[in-house]
Amino acid sequence: MILRISRMIFIAICAAALLLAGAPASLFSAGVVNSKVHEVSARDLQVTCSGPAILAGGATGTSVTGFKRLGSASISLTYSAASATSLKLFDGNYVAGYGVRQDLFKGLSNTGSLTVVDKTGTTAQGSALLAANQIQLADNKNIKGLLAAPCIRAQSEFWLVGGSTMTGRESLLILNNPTQVDATVDLEIFTENGSSHSSGLSGIAVAAKKTTVIPLASFVLRSQSTVVHATSRGGSITALIQQKSVRGTRASGADYVAPAPLANTFNVLPGILVRGSKDAGKFRKTSDQYSDVQHLLRVFVPGSLDANLTLQVLGSDKQTFGTVLSVKAAAGKVTDFEIKGLKDGDYFAYLDSDVAVQSSIRLVRARASNDRYVDFAWVNSAEAFQTPRYIAVPKAGISKLSIVNPSNKATTVSIKIGAATVKRTIAAGSDAVIRATPGMSIGIIPSDKAVYANLVIDVDGRVAVLPVLDDKNISGQVKVSIH
Amino acid sequence: MTMRVVAVVVSKDQPLYLQNALDALSKQSFRLDRVLVVDSSTLEEIKPVLDNFVSQSSKHAVLSILDKASFAELSALAIRQVLEGFENLDDVAIWLLHDDTVPEIHALAELVRALEVSPLVAIASPKQVAIENPKLIVQQGLSLTKTLKPFSLVNDELDQKQHDYMSDVLAVSSNAMLIRANSWIELGGYSLTAPELATDIDLGIRTHQLGSRVVVVPTARVRHAELSLQGKRAKNWLGGSVKFALAKATNHLRLSHAPIFLAFLYWLGLPVISIAQVFWLLLVKRPDRILFTLRANLWAFFTIRARLRDRHSISIKPLRVLFANSAQVRSRSRLALETAEQKSNLENFDERTPTRGSITQVGFIASGGLWIMLGLAFLSYQFFPLGQAAIGGFALPLSDSWLQLFAHTGASFQHVGLGLAAASDPFNWVLLTIGSITFWSPNLALSALLLLAKPLSFMGAWRLLSTVTVRNSIKIPLALAYTAWPALTISQSQGNYPAVVFAMTLPWLLFSLARAGRLGLSSSVRSDQQNASWMAAAGLLVAVSLASAPSALFPLLVIGLVFAYLGRTRIKALVFIALPAAVITLPYYFDQIFTNKAPLGIFADPTISHPTKALAVMEAVLSSDKFFGWFALALVVLGVIAVASRVRAVFGIWLLALLVLGNIWFINSIAFPAGGVGSIFLEPTEQVFDSSTPSVMLFVVLAISAIALWLESLTRAGVRKLLVSAILLAAAMPLAVASAMTASQVKFVDSRNLPAIFSAEAAAGSQLRLLVLSSNGDQSFTAEEISPQGIKLDGISTAYRLNEKNLEPEANIKASITELVANMVSANGKSISQKLQARQYGYVLVPNRPGNGDLGVALNSVAELDQVGTTEFGQLWRVKKPFISNRYVEQSLFSITKTIQLAVLVGFVLLALPTARGRKNRTRAENSFETEGEQES
């Protein structure tokens, strides 16, 4: 009997040990599939600027037939002018590259593209070669506010996290097709109620070299929170949402919603520069029309799992105290969370989530005294980068660059403005806010840590935020794994 | 006229027998005129016997032949010698004797009387009885069957004078034959070209053709040891083994005595006949006869001139009345079978485990097994094959044509991807077997497999448990638990055919091993033929198991060794059982180890490299369904408790189970490269891991066997009932519910898994290939070249997947494709038409997947491509100017390796097939010239 029980105990111990401690050890590998590498020359880098603001309803605002461009947008661009390249401008003229960076400013009355012609196809592409953006301070009875957007490379897929189709809010989806091939665009529109199943979301034709403007209200009426996912087949496109607010009969704020990066579990949102917080509070108290003059976090949770979110809004210096939100966002829906209690100051935000999410922050600006206005800007979560990136700085207004170092160690970033290079050390988990020289592009050269950055533009108190992008076509080493 | 008789004794190395024979001769009541011993012995001990013999009488003489000589030559020489001096041979007869013969005292007198009574009788032969048991007739006249096989008219029958009526026969044995000297001279003696065992019959036939009679004289009796037929003489005496000598004799008689046209046809057809004979012998479970049958056929084929020398102009047709009739053959069959069964029963008398005779088992159907199978089929309702093929998860369709499926199986060169000279996956043999069930549409059977997986697993588990328990109340819940185990359920839902096939096969494999090893309860094995069937079945099932689950190699090896140990003397059987698995896996192992230099590749799961992650042992046992997994674990705990039972075997079973748990850890620690054919349509991953299901199911089968042994040993019926109820309610039923609730990843559609336009063109004979591209991000892409045959389950090659390290011959092709793809995806305007044409690309496909959008856009700007549109498989482009070639490189149907593999597998299948009693009997009867002992060896 004792022997039998001993045997049972022996087996039980061995089985339990194997069951409980038998984690896979990754001890062996039966070979590795190596990709083949080929060096390719890239096609010419082209970025497309959406052009001036669009007025739905024509000049009077009452027409039901079309859209009208409002004035012209100011284009700021920085071109490295690398040797053996030339920059083709909107008007078809060329700027020859002779090795000295050039910051150029152009007016644009319609959609236009900038192309770096590289006959060798070997020049490294990216924002260091060409970066451009557009701003427009709209002061029309139908639209007021600062609209800013990056000029972007045509692609096949965009996520636009922003917009609203509530009463008094207008969101126009602007689809440009700068390519030679007609594009067919499919849309997915998500709102606070989930995905829209309206007809007409698929197969939207965007002819080659043409722009198609679609009011989101035609698909999702009276939706507080929208997120648009656009995919194209055929030609590639650029996509923006132009959002404006009208309170009563007065236009009151406008901005572009620029494409956001892919969903992530950790989002960094630099450039939350809060000004006029007291005035915003006053507006909110005056009327319900101004109830949304409030900073808010917009989150879209793709997939089927709800997201548990923690938003930390952190101040850039000792005088600013941020706030923390711990909330839950429903899967497949767009959810807005108001960010209250932020006083004037410079902030940045981290958004942690247990599932990958799309996020952006709506930053508001208001002045309640003379020259009353309310404006807003969509601050996208930024892209991490560790290689140099450039951004053109508009001549108008005040521009500030917010750079965030989310790592747990301090890092040094070289800032290149014109011929000068300044080194800034950014503490661990902190940011640096650098005032840009109007009209002079900024080069951001990280050292050992990946950083995140946005450019905040303030023109007469109106605000807009531009992402720091790095557009490039496939070039250099392409890996191909052949099965 | 009084007959004078001379005796000739042919001696070969049997001094004792010879002494007895000579003594008996000296005591004959009929006086012999001369006695000549012709001796070709090599033993020294024979000399005193011969010296003594010669010294006894002046009529005695010895003729020593030192050269190797056949019986016919020796007898011819001796008879010529002994007849010298006789002027008139009319009254002389020759008595030819073997040295292992002891004639009874009046034997010669009776024979002489027969010759004296009838002048037409040329040859008279006595009744030959066993030397040890004179009541047993060992031979009394020879004949032929209708197919001209030698047939002994009486063989090992108790002498009750039932054959004493016999007189005229076709031929008689050379032993103790009395032949008139004149007839001998006229006949020319025995044929020197005929094989030993054909000489008697040949002589008999020729005697009849001279118009003389050949008779047996039942009153004359000689005792005969039949050393030659018993295989107790040196093999060169008969020119080989008895079986070989018999086969040669048969061939000789057919070629020399059949009508010339039939003989010619027979000779011409010998190669085909040989194959047919091999099939037949396998079917009747006589593989031991194959080798000598083939040798005899080869001998006959290449010595045809010698056979023809024995042909005579006179027809054999009139002699057919003397041939063995059907009744005689049937009677002999019955007798042979009874003897074999008696022998087997005597052998089984000492078996340690009870046989069927002592165990009362309720049959599977009687125990309601069919109803449970039906219920399990209902639980698998999601897998009802509503379409032609199952697609999704691991599942891919098979080739639409059986010939294509056959071509992919056992191939040495595969037209997959860029092509590969390596052995195809052994699992293809399993797919071929399944596809052959519905050969007109191979996918149909494969689709039905998922539906039938659980019912057949249940049946197998029930059968296996019947070797350890007779109680249905134990067998059914435990078999249900096995069937509903989460690992099997998940593999079924993923369409993981190899894992499902292994889980289905495993209980049957262990069951057949138990049968082959005569282990466990209720062994139904009653004869060597049945044993051969079970061993062949076990061999095939081992091959199926190993081909389906290479990861189970180590546990299967250990189980094999345990089987050999339990059988103690069954190492040969183990080698035999391992043969099919060896022939289908060794070429593949060779390629993985030596060509791919990836020894661990032999453990890689076959079929598509579906993304999988490594599992901890606990995760593997519980599977992804944690909730129901705990019910499964409860059963494992019960299995551990069983170790405390009185049944010692449980401890051994658990040691095996621990080894299997270790194997789960081992296989989850091997990362295999992803990729290979068809993987581009799957979620991108760099590494994949083997499925744990085979090892888990092996663990489960051991656990339930341990529990069954324990429950069977319980003396308190109440406790047993309680435990059985607990197993049923707390494990089997919840797991069955879980299996029904597990969503299937497989859908049943038509067998197309590529864009319709490409498939249609390929079906119309186009040889254009499809290039599939996908982006992995960060300027990394995957490209896959798909042949017109498309992506088929049988076209997947694990050797190809692991061949990345050794692709020097294809390096240029890969570099060329890489350049082509790089230029396409970068859309830099470089001309790619030459490279598109070089690889015969007709279409380019970009699967619908996040991240591939830009790729599609890039291809739109490639001048050499025209966008076709969006298909269910992705965006499709047509190459504007493809290179159209009509040259079709067809996959060859056969190779040397494949032929060997096929021959072994077919042989095992024939051996494994249950054989009708009648066929077995007929085979025995047709070879009834042999002794029963020889037949059964």
pLDDT tens profile B896-929: 889 999 999 999 998 888 766 555 555 544 455 5
| Helix or strand run (H / E) with residue A103 | strand A102-108
Domain boundaries, chain B: 4-239, 357-749, 756-790+807-879
Angstrom distances, CA of residue B483 to CA of B371, B654, B733, B738: 15, 20, 11, 12
Locate B351 and state its tokens: 């078996």
Q: Of A22, A29, A236, which has the smallest distance from its Cβ to B857's Cβ?
A: A236
Q: Which amino acid is at B764?
A: A
Angstrom distances, CA of residue B251 to CA of B159, B272, B287: 32, 14, 19
Query: Is B643 within 8 Å of chain A by CB?
Result: yes
Does B31 have pLDDT greater than 50?
yes
Averaged pLDDT for residues B356-373: 76
Cβ B828 vs Cβ A41: under 8 Å: yes
User: Other C-beta atoms within 10 Å of B69: how many?
Assistant: 16
pLDDT of residue A339: 94
Does B803 have pLDDT greater than 60?
yes
Locate B421 and state its tokens: 């000279």
Q: How far apart are the first and last CA of chain B?
A: 50
The per-type count for chain B, helices as H runs and strands as E runs, is 37, 21
Query: Is B722 within 8 Å of chain A by CB?
Result: no
pLDDT of residue B520: 77
Q: What are the chain A neighbours of B645 within 8 Å (beta carbons)?
A: 4
Query: Is B825 within 8 Å of chain A by CB?
Result: yes
Query: Is B863 within 8 Å of chain A by CB?
Result: no
Distance CA A237, CA B857 (A): 9
Strand order in the sheet with A398-405: A430-435, A398-405, A452-459, A462-467
A370 class by beta-carbon count within 10 Å (0-12 exposed, 13-18 middle, 19+ buried): exposed
Q: Of A33, A121, A179, which has the smallest distance from its Cβ to B674's Cβ?
A: A33
Cβ B783 vs Cβ B845: under 8 Å: no
pLDDT of residue A27: 72
Averaged pLDDT for residues B705-730: 84
Distance CA A221, CA A164 (A): 9
The B residues from 592 to 621 touching A (CB cutoff 8 Å) are: 596, 598, 600-601, 603-604, 614-618, 621
The A residues from 414 to 443 touching B (CB cutoff 8 Å) are: none
**A-chain residue closest to B593, CA distance:** A30
Report, in angstroms and rounded to the nearest whole number, the Rg of chain B calculated over CA atoms.
36
Distance CA A10, CA B711 (A): 21
Query: Is A23 within 8 Å of chain B by CB?
Result: yes
Nearest chain B CA: its distance from A479 CA (Å): 5
CATH number of the structural domain A153-257: 2.60.290.11
Does B937 have pLDDT greater than 60?
no
pLDDT of residue B524: 55
Minimum mean pLDDT among B144-158, B319-333, B388-402, B617-631: which range? B617-631
Give one DSSP letter per residue of B133-202, joined into a string.
-TTEEEES-EEE-TT--EEESS-SEE-SSTTTT--B-SB--STTEEEEHHHHHHHTSS-SSS-HHHHHHH
**B-chain residue closest to A183, CA distance:** B857
Distance CA B535, CA B527 (A): 12
Distance CA A403, CA A423 (A): 13
With a pLDDT cut of 90, the percent of chain B lying above it is 40
- Interface with A, mutate which of B635, B655, B702, B857 (most A CBs under 10 A): B857
Cβ B424 vs Cβ B446: under 8 Å: no
**A-chain residue closest to B868, CA distance:** A234
Place of tokens 């009395």: B178
Work out how many CB contacts closer than 8 A connect A with B: 214
The pLDDT mean for chain B works out to: 86
B78 or B914, which is more confident = B78
Q: Please indicate whether, in this complex, the C-beta atoms of B657 and A15 are within 8 angstroms of each other.
A: yes
pLDDT of residue B886: 66
Distance CA B80, CA B181 (A): 10
- Interface with B, mutate which of A6, A11, A34 (most B CBs under 10 A): A11
Distance CA B425, CA B585 (A): 8
Q: Please indicate whether, in this complex, the C-beta atoms of A483 and B672 are within 8 angstroms of each other.
A: no
Per-residue pLDDT tens for B539-558?
Answer: 999 999 999 999 999 999 99
Query: Is A25 within 8 Å of chain B by CB?
Result: yes
Q: Of B617, B675, B870, which has the smallest distance from its Cβ to A233's Cβ?
A: B870
Q: What are the chain B neighbours of A36 within 8 Å (beta carbons)?
A: 814-815, 817-818
Q: What are the chain A neighbours of B677 within 8 Å (beta carbons)?
A: 483
The A residues from 96 to 155 touching B (CB cutoff 8 Å) are: 121, 154-155
**Which CATH code of 2.60.290.11, 3.40.640.10, 2.30.40.10, 3.40.50.970 fits the domain covering A263-381?**
2.60.290.11
Distance CA B444, CA A363 (A): 62
* B706: CB partners within 8 A, 6+ apart: B639, B642, B643, B650, B653, B654, B657
What is B4-239's CATH superfamily? Spore Coat Polysaccharide Biosynthesis Protein SpsA; Chain A (3.90.550.10)
Q: Which amino acid is at A476?
A: G
pLDDT of residue A21: 83
Q: What are the chain B neighbours of A475 within 8 Å (beta carbons)?
A: 826, 828
Q: Please indicate whether, in this complex, the C-beta atoms of A24 and B636 are within 8 angstroms of each other.
A: no
Q: Of A32, A181, A478, which has the smallest distance from its Cβ to B826's Cβ?
A: A478
Closest by CA to B702, choosing from B737, B657, B736, is B657
Q: Please indicate whether, in this complex, the C-beta atoms of B670 and A11 are within 8 angstroms of each other.
A: no
**B-chain residue closest to A37, CA distance:** B818
- Interface with A, mutate which of B698, B824, B826 (most A CBs under 10 A): B826
Q: In the structure, what pLDDT confidence band is assigned to residue B354 with cuts at 50, 70 and 90?
A: very low
Q: Of A15, A41, A473, which has the smallest distance from its Cβ to B640's Cβ?
A: A15
With a pLDDT cut of 70, the percent of chain B lying above it is 91
Q: Of B644, B658, B689, which has the smallest distance from its Cβ to A18's Cβ?
A: B658
Distance CA B671, CA A24 (A): 10
Locate B232 and state its tokens: 């107790």
Domain boundaries, chain A: 153-257, 263-381
Closest by CA to A159, choosing from A264, A313, A15, is A264
Distance CA B189, CA B292 (A): 28
pLDDT of residue B859: 87
Dihedral (CA of B894, B896, B897, B899) sign: positive
Query: Is A35 within 8 Å of chain B by CB?
Result: yes
Blockwise average pLDDT, block size 10, chain A, 483 residues: 84 88 76 76 90 83 76 94 91 90 93 91 89 94 93 92 92 93 92 91 92 93 93 89 90 93 94 92 86 92 93 88 93 94 93 95 90 92 94 94 94 92 93 93 94 95 94 82 79
Q: In the structure, what pLDDT confidence band is assigned to residue B313 with cuts at 50, 70 and 90?
A: confident
Q: What are the chain A neighbours of B783 within 8 Å (beta carbons)?
A: 480-483
Residue B839: alpha-carbon gap to chain centroid: 44
Q: Are strands B101-103 and B121-130 parallel, antiparallel or unpaired?
A: unpaired
* A245: CB partners within 8 A, 6+ apart: A145, A168, A169, A170, A251, A252, A253, A254, A292, A374, A376
Q: Of A25, A34, A480, which has the smallest distance from its Cβ to B781's Cβ?
A: A480
Query: Is B212 within 8 Å of chain A by CB?
Result: no
Closest by CA to B109, choosing from B215, B167, B223, B27, is B27
**B-chain residue closest to A119, CA distance:** B828
Locate B708 and state its tokens: 């069954």
Locate B869 and state its tokens: 């549109």
pLDDT of residue B926: 46
Place of tokens 């099919």: B580
pLDDT of residue B355: 46
Closest by CA to A123, choosing from A39, A37, A44, A48, is A44
Nearest chain A CA: its distance from B382 CA (Å): 24
Nearest chain B CA: its distance from A156 CA (Å): 5
Cβ A347 vs Cβ A312: under 8 Å: no
Query: Is A92 within 8 Å of chain B by CB?
Result: no
Does B132 have pLDDT greater than 60?
yes
| DSSP bridge pairs for A348 | A314
Q: Of A36, A154, A232, which has the smallest distance from its Cβ to B815's Cβ?
A: A36
Q: What are the chain A neighbours of B815 within 8 Å (beta carbons)?
A: 36, 38
Averaged pLDDT for residues B435-443: 92
**B-chain residue closest to A185, CA distance:** B853
pLDDT of residue A180: 85
Cβ A54 vs Cβ A67: under 8 Å: yes
pLDDT of residue A109: 92
Q: Which residues of B761-775 are buried (b: 16+ CB within 10 A; e: fewer)?
A: bbeeebbbbbbbbbb
Q: Please indicate whether, in this complex, the C-beta atoms of A473 and B645 are within 8 angstroms of each other.
A: no
Averaged pLDDT for residues B444-467: 93
Does B353 have pLDDT greater than 70?
no
* B760: CB partners within 8 A, 6+ apart: none
Angstrom distances, CA of residue B565 to CA of B132, B354, B512, B537, B555: 38, 19, 16, 20, 15
SS (H, E, C) B704-733: HHHHHHHHHHCCCHHHHHHHHHHHHHHHHH
